[in-house]
Amino acid sequence: MWWPPWLAAWLAWAAGAGAGRPAPLCGSGGLCRAPLGPNASHPAPGHCPRQRGAAELCAWPLSSESLLDTFPVDATQENYVRNVRNCIFSVVYPTPFKSRVRLVAVSKEVLENILDLDISVKGTSDFLQFVSGGKVILGSVPLAHRHGERWELQLKGSGKTPYSRNGDGRAVLRSSVREFLCSEAMHYLGIPTSRAASLVVSDDDVWRDQFYNGNIKKERGAIVLRLAKSWFRIGSLEILAHSGELDLQRRLLDFIIQEHFPSIAMNDSNRYLEFFSTVVSETANLIALWMSVGFAHGVCNTDNFSLLSITIDYGPFGFMESYDPNFVLNTSDDERRYKIGNQANVGLFNLSKLLQALKPLLDPRQKQLASQILEGYGEHYYIRFTELFKTKLGLLGENEDDNYLIAFLLQLMEDTKADFTMTFRQLSEITEDQLKELHIPEEFWALQDLGKHKLFSEWVTMYLLRLNRNKGDSDAKRRTRMTTVNPRYILRNWMAESAVQKANLNDFSEVQLLQQILQHPFQRQQAAEKAGYSLRPPAWAKDLKVSCSS
Query: Alpha-carbon distance 136 to 218, whole Å?
Result: 28
Amino acid identity of 395?
Answer: L
CA-wise closest residue to 227 among 115, 96, 73, 70: 115
Helix (H) or strand (E) holding 225: strand 217-228
Radius of gyration from C-alpha coordinates of the chain: 24
Residue 493 near residue 319 (C-beta atoms within 8 A): yes
Query: Alpha-carbon distance 86 to 391, whole Å?
Result: 48
CA-wise closest residue to 230 among 360, 129, 88: 88
Q: End-to-end CA distance of the chain: give it in Å, rounded.
A: 41
Burial per residue of 445-458, b for 16 or more beta-carbon CB atoms within 10 angstroms, e otherwise: bbbebbbebeebee
CA-wise closest residue to 18 among 241, 178, 167, 150: 167
Query: Alpha-carbon distance 336 to 40, whole Å?
Result: 44
CB-based contacts of 76, cutoff 8 Å, min separation 6:
82, 84, 90, 162
CA-wise closest residue to 300 among 351, 257, 249: 351
Residue 1 near residue 68 (C-beta atoms within 8 A): yes
CB-side exposure of 480: number of CA atoms within 13 Å? 5
Q: Residue 545, exposed/middle/buried by CB under 10 A (0-12, 13-18, 19+)?
A: middle
In the DSSP assignment, the letter for residue 331 is T
- From residue 231, alpha-carbon distances to 160, 224, 228, 282, 512 in Å are 18, 15, 6, 16, 27
SS3 of 420-464: the string is HHHHHHHHHHCCHHHHHCCCCCCCCHHHHHHCCCCCHHHHHHHHH
Query: Alpha-carbon distance 372 to 377, whole Å?
Result: 9
Residue 224 near residue 171 (C-beta atoms within 8 A): yes
Helices 271-292 & 343-358, crossing angle to 10 degrees? 170
Query: Alpha-carbon distance 104 to 233, whole Å?
Result: 29
Active site residue 401: no
Residue in 203, 204, 247, 303 annotated catalytic = 303
Query: Alpha-carbon distance 400 to 388, whole Å?
Result: 16
Residue 286 near residue 310 (C-beta atoms within 8 A): yes
- Centre a 10 Å sphere on the Cβ of residue 331 and count the other Cβ atoms it contains: 18
Active site residues: 303
